[in-house]
Amino acid sequence: MNGKSLAPDGKTLINLPTVDNPKGDGDPDAVTCRTPVYLQATDTLIRRFGPKVCQTNQFWADIIKKHQMVDAQGVIRASSINSMGPGGDPFHNPTQGLGRTMGNSGAPF
């Protein structure tokens, strides 16, 4: 899915709803897209974003029910309480992890 859908006229493309953190609310068969998420860059000043992820509301609801999450690359991952940052979601917090790469943080690893 690419974030667009065919309008009833069969010719026009319309944008699908895009939200930061889809929860599966609404019609289970309707498609909702997650806003592209910032990818942590280590050696570059270029901001990069993962793909727009478009799935049915049933998919998003199942992800939450199964305690999973979709990472910045669009891959389904198991959710872990230990990996949660201050915002409660490490994949939707663009500042988490910045400054923690080897060489710029002074960390001994």
Question: Is 21 within a domain?
Answer: yes
Core vs surface per residue 75-101: b (16+ CB within 10 A) or e: eeeeeeeeeeeeeebbbbbeebeeeee
- Does some domain include residue 59? yes
- Evaluate whether residue 74 is within a structural domain: yes
In a domain, 95, yes or no: no
Q: Is residue 88 part of a domain?
A: no
Position 36 in a domain: yes
* Residue 15 domain-assigned (yes or no): yes
3-43 confidence digits (pLDDT tens): 777 778 888 888 888 899 999 999 999 899 999 988 876 66
DSSP state of 24: -
In total, how many domains does the chain have?
Answer: 1
Question: Considering the domain boundaries, does residue 104 fall inside one?
Answer: no
- 97 pLDDT band (50/70/90 cuts)? very low
The answer to whether 32 touches 16, Cβ cutoff 8 Å, is yes
Q: What is the mean pLDDT of residues 63-78?
A: 91
Residue 12's domain comprises 4-79
